[in-house]
Structure 1
Amino acid sequence: MQGNVGSKIRDARKQHNITLRELSERSGLSVSQLSKLENGKARLTVDVALTIAGVLHVPVASFLFSPKPGMQARRSITRAGSGVLHEGNAMVFEVLCSDFRDKTNIFWRVTLLAKSFEENGGWRSHSGEEFIHVLSGSLELHTIHYDPVVLQPGDSILFDGEMQHAYVSVGDEPAIMLMSNTVPRDSVPLASAG
């Protein structure tokens, strides 16, 4: 699999008429490291893929993901205000694009009304990763291992869901955010046969 990734990097570099040395200078990665990546002798990390993709002006997904044979062409649309709503602890979750089977992410539009840690129900934790992008209002995110951080519209954060966390809306209006939770593969129930 790494060899396939390496050839994708090499092909993108050559399409842009960039030598290995030029890619090294522009990316800050050594010629040796880039050569090992292109020859499948080193593992490509997400950070390195992002760096190379940025220099070559190509989508990072072209390095990180390969289409699977027989892959389906699926899509899911949730029209504005039509997602299923879940309410609790001064939060309203609108489930977005939920009709894929065997998905690995859950997407939400969340309206946070809680003005205090207690009003939000205290600490919560879950398996997987959590991503938040603030759309409006101000969100104060509390985590057990870090000082609280205030996120403004346009700010994003990704953290491990196992780490205890809590949300507080600061300011006059509710915090509205897009949220995604990964679903660990071992926690997804298998579809019953037949």
Structure 2
Amino acid sequence: MRAQPTLGALLKNLRARNGWTLKEMSERSGIPVSTLSKVEHDRLTLTYDKLLQLSQRLNIRMSELFSENVTVPDMPVTARRSIGDLERAVRVNTSNYDYYYLCTELRRKRMIPVLTRVRVKSVSEFGDLVHHSGEEFIFVVSGRIVVHTEFYDPVTLEEGESIYIDSNMGHAYLAGEGCDEAVILGVCSSAEDGLMDSLINLHAEDAVAK
């Protein structure tokens, strides 16, 4: 079975398609040669701000860096697998959350797993409730969270508890009382294409707004 591309492989292929050396790609992207080299050899990943910088300066879609919208033939999925860990996760840091996108080398995923560190403690600090397509399942790994949703009263979830919601409904996850930081594991899914794009755009808006 052919291996799925990592972020390093995607960057290497992008550089090859354009005939750039590492130095030329560094000059175009503003990211040091040593950093790009480590990423290409899968010894380092990039934080969200660096991925956004790459996207803007090289004029490519952010989703291409997550392996989500690469055109591939429609073939039945029979034996795919991906082992996720924080070292290989794609990190996205915002003022409210630190996201760790897992198993990003798999294309055309039906579910998007993400580990999130929740720091924000109030709705006023969070801002507008988030909406996006699909559904999501959230499990509290550690700490305590308060879940705010558009049509329900807030609910507090302790470690080991979980919630399943319609993601089109406005929602926000806040660190609960007496908890400086909570860690949650989320799984997002959608029948529509482009869920990863939607999530990435939400992060970009948060980075600008905050």
TM range (shorter): 0.5 to 0.7
1:162 aligns with 2:168: yes
Aligned to 2:192: 185
Residue identity in the other structure for 2:185:
L
Identity %: 36
Residue identity in the other structure for 1:74:
R
After TM superposition, the score normalised by the length of structure 2 is 0.53
Is 2:142–2:184's contact at 8 Å kept on the other side of the alignment?
yes
- Higher strand proportion: 1
Q: Deviations over 1:80-109 (max 9, x none)?
A: 443111011320000011221111111100
Q: Secondary structure at the match of 1:109?
A: strand
Which residues of structure 2 form unaligned runs of 5+? 1-74, 197-210
Residue identity in the other structure for 1:183:
S
Matches within 5 A, 1:1-194: 71-170=77-176, 171-187=178-194
Q: Secondary structure at the match of 2:125?
A: coil
- Higher helix proportion: 2
Where has structure 1 moved over 6 Å in runs of 4 or more? none
1:110, distance to aligned residue in structure 2 (A): 0.2
1:71, distance to aligned residue in structure 2 (A): 4.0
Residue identity in the other structure for 1:79:
D
Q: Secondary structure at the match of 1:185?
A: coil
Which residues of structure 1 form unaligned runs of 5+? 1-68, 190-194
CA RMSD of aligned residues (A): 2.0
Give the paired residue count.
Answer: 121
Structure 1 residues 125 and 142 mapped into 2: Cα distance closer, same or farther (>3 Å)?
Answer: same
1:185, distance to aligned residue in structure 2 (A): 3.2
Structure 1 residues 186 and 79 mapped into 2: Cα distance closer, same or farther (>3 Å)?
Answer: closer
Q: Distance in 2 between matches of 1:70 and 1:183?
A: 18
After TM superposition, the score normalised by the length of structure 1 is 0.57
Which structure's CA Rg is the greater one?
1
